[in-house]
Amino acid sequence: STASSWRKVSSWYYRICHPKLVADSTIRSLVEELLKGATSRKDSITRLYRFVQRKIRYVETRLIGKKGGYEPAPINFTLKNRYGVCRDKAALLAGMLQTAGFDAYMVLTNPVFRVEKDIPAPSQFNHAIVALDENGEFTFFDPTAEWSVEYLTPVEDDQEILVCTPEGRDLEKTPKRSPSVNLSETEVTIKIDNDRSAKVKIAITARGVIDRGMRTFLKVFSEERLKQIITGAFKSKFPEAKVVSLLTSDPEDLTRPVTMTIVLTIPDFATKIGKEWHIGGTIGELRMRFGFSKSAFSLESRRYPVNLRIISTNRIRTIITFPRKLRISSLPKDLNLRTRDIEITINYRKKAYKIISEEIFQIKSERIPPERYQENKELIERYERKRRETIILEEK
């Protein structure tokens, strides 16, 4: 790069993009049509965003010309062909927002690698999004995130960006949100019958990156194939398990969080030893957890950071109902583990012929440096042991 500052890179890219964002009569008519009946400023913005997000395919195309890789296609070309790379989709959205009277700009970013602040080079960026200036505060949009409820996916939080304006701007960052932005809430109800079999219902609601992942999963696979995949996952731990029903929300409905409800039956769910019924070992497998894999901590030590990619929160509530001929003999102890990067709590309580557990599993750091690896590895190992602990019921 020959640029002496990020401001110069910002204004340089603005000059490249600006001529490409000019709307023709087709785009002006489309914007007018999309905004008919809009009830608010936010509604208008969302309508334009959803159009580019959903109606323009995201594809890779051959890099053309001296500025190939940076220069977007003219927005009328992208609209006509209904496809484009990230910069093409971003340019179309920025152009449509400008046509509607909004103050929108192209933005360079890199959601994969950190940008070196002391090297003002456009080659450090590999992605383009859009910034909307609202009274001096920017709202960011990524129109390539096809199944995202949010304008900007949480995986793009706290990332270096360059908003490209006529006068130029310095390197900035997208806002950092709390771990609850990537949230899964799971309620597991287990009804144990007198023959030790169990009927299990698992209801999942997701938000953020987890929501997007589930939507993609639901879009890719047919209902029959989904049922096969889920049945296979449970049979690996419960060989006689049978999935009775699988209900999901419409993955194309971006107005509400995605949901999935699984009902299954498991024969011999409880193991009988004398007068005791043992429930455990594999019960943790019913407490479905998203956005984290324990394999990240499988090595004895690390020389490089663990890249968990996203911060997230899993809330899991489990309700076990057991026959009245039984009483609780032993429950696992509560768990409260915390490091700078991960926080886990599990609490148990009794209520008549029910056992209720509440679990919160929170990832607070996207990257864990080598010097903090060992304490987090030990935390995960303690947690995995706790998940396998046994509940003991006893015949009266």
Tokens found for residue 342: 């991960």
Q: Which amino acid is at 6?
A: W
Q: Are 205 and 194 in contact (CB under 8 A)?
A: no
Q: Are 209 and 291 in contact (CB under 8 A)?
A: yes
For the sheet containing 391-395, what is the strand order? 271-273, 276-279, 391-395, 326-330
Q: How far apart are CA 97 and CA 323, in angstroms?
A: 61
Question: How many CA atoms lie within 13 Å of 45's alpha carbon, on the beta-carbon side?
Answer: 17
Supply the pLDDT for residue 294. 80
136: left (phi over 0), alpha (psi -120 to 50) or beta: left
How buried is 84 (Cβ within 10 angstroms: 0-12 exposed, 13-18 middle, 19+ buried)? Answer: buried
Look at the block and give the residue holding tokens 């987090």.
Answer: 376
Q: How far apart are CA 151 and CA 322, in angstroms?
A: 45
Sketch out the chain's domains with CATH numbers: 6-173 (3.10.620.30), 180-395 (2.60.120.1130)
Supply the pLDDT for residue 325. 96
Averaged over successive runs of 10 residues, the pLDDT of the chain (396 residues) comes to 86 97 97 97 97 91 52 96 95 98 97 88 94 94 90 88 97 90 93 96 93 90 90 87 94 91 94 93 62 84 90 94 96 95 95 94 94 96 90 95
Q: Which amino acid is at 257?
A: P
Backbone angles phi, psi at 359, to 5 degrees: -125, 135
Q: How far apart are CA 188 and CA 284, in angstroms?
A: 11
Supply the pLDDT for residue 63. 44
Supply the pLDDT for residue 290. 67
Tokens found for residue 148: 């995202």
How buried is 229 (Cβ within 10 angstroms: 0-12 exposed, 13-18 middle, 19+ buried)? Answer: exposed
How buried is 365 (Cβ within 10 angstroms: 0-12 exposed, 13-18 middle, 19+ buried)? Answer: middle
Distance of CA 135 to the CA centre of its chain: 29
CA angle 12, 14, 15 (to 5 degrees): 65
Q: Are 205 and 185 in contact (CB under 8 A)?
A: yes
Q: How far apart are CA 268 and CA 241, in angstroms?
A: 10
Q: How far apart are CA 74 and CA 34, in angstroms?
A: 20
Supply the pLDDT for residue 233. 86
How buried is 269 (Cβ within 10 angstroms: 0-12 exposed, 13-18 middle, 19+ buried)? Answer: buried
Q: Are 326 and 393 in contact (CB under 8 A)?
A: yes
Query: 3-class SS at 275?
Result: coil
Q: How far apart are CA 302 and CA 111, in angstroms?
A: 23
Distance of CA 348 to the CA centre of its chain: 28
Q: Helices H, strands E: what count in the chain?
A: 8, 21
Supply the pLDDT for residue 61. 57
